């Protein structure tokens, strides 16, 4: 019945009825390593050169966005993105400069365009802090007002951040990889330490590093993970399968982990990606030992993991009033306790463990940020992932290991296909992009965090939710 309802809703007559109800057809989002549709406009508002230097480093040519006499900007043509360097703004009256570049951009921006605000993570003084927070409010509102798949995000830059530290974040936000990341703010700082050396020589001319750094903005040939080993749990289907696929596209050798019951799909994926498969329940007491042993036996005793993505997850939804100890324990065991047990094992220096300079990525959820009716166990586990990531980021900074989480909103997978249709349609639409995200959107964000060039991004939670109203 639900399937029939969905087919009718998405048929031509169904779409006409939906249009009549004010439910416009969702825009098709620009995805992948694609450049914006049109030039990138740059507005440096208070003398900071960091963003201009970073875009130069990336090989991105820009058009100016500030008029000479300080009045509202005019853009020479339609634009694909506007990047605003708001570092150095300290006074409330200076926020007018932000309005003056944003207002015309709201009209000039093409579909799947980008508004990227850049501000300081740390500022002194009451007014300066109010101004910094005001930028957050502006960005969130712009994200809600933009149309046709365009997004707005805010990057907070810590002191002593260099263009090479900021580059991977600006590149990710400009490219189609960030299609479903909207209305978010996160912090970038100086690179902790150079990522671990590759375990085998890179292949091809653009095998490592940021493609744009070599003057090639966008492009499918980038392979920042060339030669590196990435472990993905829950890889047999859904988001995990896409994480593994994107990591392999980016050059990684992928070890795909999932339950024995999913062994067939797991083997097929590992085969397609020229990776390896490990049948393992991540809640097994020796899960960490078995992952390291698998890596050492399949990739060599000297091999080390560059990145592990703790994606395996389950739901056992019920109102708390109906949640027994079993439902509670199962969800916490898979979604949180497994990660907490596996990480220390991989960090103890054993063969096949995580390399210094490596990457740990956890999967949280908007339910873990805002709570969700019927998901007390799930929200506990996903909020727990956020706590874990922040604590481990601090603990592991000295080893150059970054620890981050992504928090997906509504993503089209088998997990969400189980939600009743009408409720599902409401979840789908309740965000600024008026659609559910695709597994690849989560995977691309994880790819950005796994990138050796993202060594200045740690302890962060990046929502991949299209600016979902949940917890907004």
Ligand X SMILES: NC(=O)c1ccc[n+]([C@@H]2O[C@H](COP(=O)([O-])OP(=O)(O)OC[C@H]3O[C@@H](n4cnc5c(N)ncnc54)[C@H](O)[C@@H]3O)[C@@H](O)[C@H]2O)c1
Least distance from ligand X to the Cβ atom of residue 346, Å: 16
Give 112 or 413: the residue with its C-beta nearer to ligand X: 413
For residue 180, state whether it binds ligand X (rule: CB under 6 A). no
Q: Which residues pair with 154 in a beta bridge?
A: 117, 185
Measured distance CA(159)–CA(456) in Å, rounded: 11
Least distance from ligand X to the Cβ atom of residue 314, Å: 5
Measured distance CA(236)–CA(393) in Å, rounded: 28
For residue 449, state whether it binds ligand X (rule: CB under 6 A). no
Least distance from ligand X to the Cβ atom of residue 452, Å: 24
Give 158 or 419: the residue with its C-beta nearer to ligand X: 419
C-alpha closest to that of 104 among 135, 71, 134, 136: 71
Burial 406-433 (b: 16+ CB within 10 A, else e): bbbbbbbbeebeebeeeebbebbbbbbb
Strands 276-279 and 354-363: unpaired
Among 36, 408, 456, 466, binds ligand X (CB under 6 A): 408
Segment lying near ligand X (by CB under 6 A), choices 19-27, 49-57, 160-168, 312-320: 312-320
For residue 362, state whether it binds ligand X (rule: CB under 6 A). no
**CA-to-CA separations, 277 to 15, 260, 294, in angstroms, rounded:** 42, 10, 9
- Binding to ligand X, residues 242-271 (CB under 6 A): 258-259, 262
Least distance from ligand X to the Cβ atom of residue 173, Å: 21
Among 189, 209, 240, 353, binds ligand X (CB under 6 A): 240
Measured distance CA(19)–CA(13) in Å, rounded: 10
Measured distance CA(181)–CA(306) in Å, rounded: 24
Least distance from ligand X to the Cβ atom of residue 316, Å: 11
For residue 413, state whether it binds ligand X (rule: CB under 6 A). yes
For residue 311, state whether it binds ligand X (rule: CB under 6 A). yes
For residue 278, state whether it binds ligand X (rule: CB under 6 A). no
Segment lying near ligand X (by CB under 6 A), choices 66-74, 140-148, 396-404, 410-418: 410-418
Measured distance CA(460)–CA(120) in Å, rounded: 16
For residue 337, state whether it binds ligand X (rule: CB under 6 A). no
The pair of structure tokens assigned to 150 is: 């365009």
C-alpha closest to that of 100 among 148, 45, 180, 21: 45
Segment lying near ligand X (by CB under 6 A), choices 110-118, 208-216, 267-275, 311-319: 311-319
The pair of structure tokens assigned to 259 is: 């339950």
For residue 236, state whether it binds ligand X (rule: CB under 6 A). yes
Size of the site for ligand X (CB under 6 A): 27
Measured distance CA(401)–CA(140) in Å, rounded: 30
For residue 307, state whether it binds ligand X (rule: CB under 6 A). no
Q: How does DSSP classify residue 57? A: H
Among 15, 147, 237, 390, binds ligand X (CB under 6 A): 237
* Burial of 119 per CB tally in 10 Å (0-12, 13-18, 19+): buried
- Binding to ligand X, residues 41-70 (CB under 6 A): none
Give 73 or 257: the residue with its C-beta nearer to ligand X: 257
Residues taking part in catalysis:
378
For residue 231, state whether it binds ligand X (rule: CB under 6 A). no
CB 131 within 8 A of CB 90: yes
For residue 36, state whether it binds ligand X (rule: CB under 6 A). no
The pair of structure tokens assigned to 222 is: 């980038």
For residue 336, state whether it binds ligand X (rule: CB under 6 A). no
Give 238 or 456: the residue with its C-beta nearer to ligand X: 238
H-assigned helices in 304-375? 325-332, 338-346, 366-370
Give 302 or 414: the residue with its C-beta nearer to ligand X: 414
Least distance from ligand X to the Cβ atom of residue 194, Å: 30
Among 66, 247, 411, 472, binds ligand X (CB under 6 A): 411
**CA-to-CA separations, 8 to 1, 43, 62, 187, 410, in angstroms, rounded:** 11, 46, 45, 44, 21
For residue 234, state whether it binds ligand X (rule: CB under 6 A). yes
Instruction: Tell me how far apart the terminal alpha carbons of the chain are, to the nearest angstrom.
Output: 33
Segment lying near ligand X (by CB under 6 A), choices 55-63, 112-120, 128-136, 412-420: 412-420
Q: Which residues bind ligand X (CB under 6 A)?
A: 233-234, 236-240, 258-259, 262, 281-283, 311-314, 334, 363, 365, 408, 410-411, 413-416
């Amino acid at each position: 019945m639900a399937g029939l309802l969905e087919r009718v809703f998405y048929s031509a007559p169904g779409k006409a009825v939906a249009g009549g109800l004010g439910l416009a057809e969702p825009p098709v989002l620009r995805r992948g390593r694609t450049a914006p549709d049109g030039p990138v406009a740059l507005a440096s508002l208070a003398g900071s050169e960091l963003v201009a230097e970073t875009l130069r480093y990336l090989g991105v040519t820009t058009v100016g966005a500030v008029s000479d006499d300080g009045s509202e900007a005019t853009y020479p043509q339609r634009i694909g993105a506007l990047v605003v360097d708001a570092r150095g703004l300290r006074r409330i009256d200076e926020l007018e400069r932000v309005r003056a570049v944003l207002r015309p951009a709201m009209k000039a921006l093409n579909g799947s365009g980008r508004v990227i605000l850049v501000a300081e993570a740390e500022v002194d003084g009451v007014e300066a802090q109010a101004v910094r927070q005001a930028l957050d409010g502006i960005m969130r509102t712009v994200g809600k007002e933009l149309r046709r798949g365009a997004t707005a995000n805010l990057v907070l830059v810590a002191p002593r951040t260099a263009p090479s530290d900021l580059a991977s974040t600006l590149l990710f936000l400009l490219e189609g990889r960030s299609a479903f990341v909207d209305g978010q703010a996160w912090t970038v700082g100086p690179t902790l330490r150079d990522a671990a050396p590759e375990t085998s020589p890179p292949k091809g001319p653009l095998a490592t590093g940021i493609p744009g750094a070599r003057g090639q903005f966008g492009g499918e040939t980038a392979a920042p993970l060339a030669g590196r080993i990435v472990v993905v749990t829950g890889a047999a289907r859904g988001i995990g399968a896409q994480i593994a696929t994107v990591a392999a596209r980016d050059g990684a050798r992928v070890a795909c982990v999932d339950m024995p019951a999913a062994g067939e799909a797991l083997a097929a994926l590992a085969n397609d990606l020229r990776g390896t498969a490990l049948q393992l329940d991540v809640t097994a007491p020796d899960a960490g030992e078995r992952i390291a042993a698998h890596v050492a036996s399949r990739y060599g005793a000297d091999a080390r993991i560059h990145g592990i993505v703790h994606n395996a997850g389950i739901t056992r939804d019920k109102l708390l009033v109906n949640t027994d100890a079993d439902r509670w324990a199962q969800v916490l065991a898979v979604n949180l306790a497994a990660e907490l047990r596996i990480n220390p094992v991989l960090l103890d220096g054993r063969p096949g463990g995580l390399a210094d300079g490596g990457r740990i990525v956890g999967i949280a959820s908007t339910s873990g940020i805002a709570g969700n009716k019927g998901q007390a166990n799930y929200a506990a586990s996903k909020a727990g992932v956020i706590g874990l990531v922040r604590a481990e980021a601090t603990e592991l900074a000295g080893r150059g290991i970054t620890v981050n989480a992504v928090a997906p909103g509504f993503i089209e997978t088998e997990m969400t296909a189980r939600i009743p249709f009408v409720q599902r349609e409401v979840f789908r639409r309740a965000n600024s992009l008026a659609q559910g995200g695709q597994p690849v959107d989560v995977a691309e964000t994880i790819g950005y965090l796994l990138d050796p060039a993202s060594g200045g991004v740690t302890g962060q939670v990046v929502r991949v939710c299209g600016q979902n109203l949940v917890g907004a």
